[in-house]
Chains A and B, each alone.
Chain A
């Protein structure tokens, strides 16, 4: 009988009930305030990625750690979406400002996401140097089905979640709608930051949010992004919790 039950569990693994929300953050410090609040918590792993499951404010949720880079973020999200079928993905954490008007502590919500890691440089001969402010952007081209790709500059945020998030406040006041940019880069050259903002329209940069949005689009799940400029893990987690409470 035990063997029979084990067989059935194995066979029906892909048929798990759907989850309300997938919450994705870069590291343990940012995840832990939410994991600590989970009711009926349990943990599952697959290859390099970990999933914390439970309920939060009456919603079924799964949390995963993105490691703050596109590959781990997309991998973790893909597995989570396939295994737990969330109705919404929430990417939350800290970000660095591209918009000079933004200040540490400002909270940004995604109107759209821009994965700004793509570039094409102009043909330049040896000893001609490298000139990144003359590079052209190279957008991602998500597969649309039927073996067709389409280049897109941005990935959309979910309109309902965006409307709910716009009503929230962060450490410095009302949440600011903007474009969350991501790449596995830490840009600290002022001229390059200005070029990225002019080229991609980014408000800020982090390691994974737009790549998560690309994966969510490929897998047909809506997404919202919440970021605190130079935020602490506690500030980012607090904003995610406010969002969860507001969207009950």
Chain B
């Protein structure tokens, strides 16, 4: 029995971290700063090269994750976050570039859906015939369904959790307006207005950034509730260049959201 207890202690020591209700993600330090600062009983964990901070906000046990930018960082860190903390809800939030003229600096889009828009097949063109991105054919993200193993394409991306959206749309943004919308993710910064307009028309995108659509796919694969918030940090229709401090708005908005959000169940 003594050896069994010792065995049990060792096993428990190497188990994953304590479960949380919400995994909250930001790609950059500025995007997680307000949320980390709001944690009650904060504790920092480093898992490999990734940093997490756990604590409480409102009624929720929260893990805040600094994912790093773009697909490679955010996919690895999301899987570590899911496997370590088994969250009931993932909130991916941060900055973005407006793709439509109605949005201004500090406005926040709550993701009705999030998609990867950076994948394509080009037509065949010979040398000297140039390159025409508005003629490229988009390729939707595919994901294998755990239930039956079928490989399914998601041309519209992945829908935000309905209950979380309802709370988010009643949450105060102290620096701008809040709209439901479509978030597109790719490792791209598009400042050619014709391509910006093409993305809005082709995918329905309101903003572009580098992580939400990828994390949405991973949450879908695990059957975890998901929502994304993106503050406008650059507004090319208004000639506003990237303003990193806009991240404060979505950080504060996310804290307000968590305080408004009722205790979670697994299903929306």
Contact = CB atoms under 8 A, between A and B. Distances in A.
Contact of A218 (B29, B72, B222): B72
Interface string A136-148: 0010111111110
Interface string B1-31: 0000001100110111000000000000100
A120 B190 CA distance: 6
B71 A188 contact: no
Nearest to B186: A117
Given A11-B8, A75-B221, A124-B193, A142 B80 contact: no
A132 to B, nearest CB: 5
Contact of A126 (B66, B68, B144, B193): B193
B195 interface: yes
Contacts of A189: 122-125, 129-132
Interface stretch (B44-52, B55-63, B105-113): B44-52
B192 interface: yes
B128 A191 contact: yes
Contacts of B167: none
B145 A8 contact: no
Nearest to A211: B72
29 contacts: A11-B15, A50-B149, A70-B71, A71-B217, A71-B218, A72-B143, A78-B80, A121-B191, A122-B191, A123-B191, A123-B192, A123-B236, A124-B192, A140-B73, A141-B68, A141-B69, A142-B72, A145-B49, A149-B68, A185-B121, A185-B122, A186-B120, A190-B126, A191-B125, A192-B122, A192-B125, A215-B72, A215-B76, A218-B49
Interface of A: 8, 11-12, 14-15, 45, 47-50, 67, 69-72, 74-75, 78-79, 82, 115, 117-133, 138, 140-147, 149, 184-192, 194-195, 211, 214-215, 218-220
A82 B84 CA distance: 11
Nearest to A70: B71
B238 interface: no
B142 interface: yes
- Pick the most buried of A74, A121, A143, A186: most chain B CB atoms within 10 A of its CB: A143
Contacts of B190: 121
B71 A185 contact: no
Interface in B84-142: 116, 118-134, 139, 141-142
A8 B76 contact: no
The contact size tier of chain B is 35 or more
B131 A132 contact: yes
Nearest to B28: A149
A48 B73 contact: no
Contacts of B8: 11
B41 interface: no
B107 to A, nearest CB: 21
B102 to A, nearest CB: 15
B191 A71 contact: no
A236 B79 CA distance: 29
- Pick the most buried of B131, B143, B151: most chain A CB atoms within 10 A of its CB: B131
A221 to B, nearest CB: 11
B263 to A, nearest CB: 25
A214 B73 CA distance: 8
A219 B125 contact: no
A125 to B, nearest CB: 6
Contacts of B146: 45, 47-48
B75 A71 contact: yes
A140 to B, nearest CB: 5
Contacts of A143: 49-50, 66, 68, 73, 77
Contacts of A122: 191-192
A138 B122 contact: no
Nearest to A213: B72
**The 4 A-B residue pairs with the shortest CB-CB distance in the complex, in nearest-first order:** A11-B11, A184-B119, A214-B72, A143-B68
A185 B131 CA distance: 14
Nearest to A186: B121
B197 interface: yes
Given A69-B141, A130-B132, A130-B133, 20 more contacts: A47-B222, A48-B143, A48-B144, A50-B144, A69-B142, A74-B76, A119-B187, A119-B189, A121-B191, A122-B191, A128-B193, A130-B192, A141-B69, A141-B70, A147-B66, A189-B125, A189-B131, A214-B72, A218-B73, A219-B48
B79 A75 contact: yes
Contacts of A144: 49
A48 B145 contact: yes
A74 B124 contact: no
A177 B119 CA distance: 27
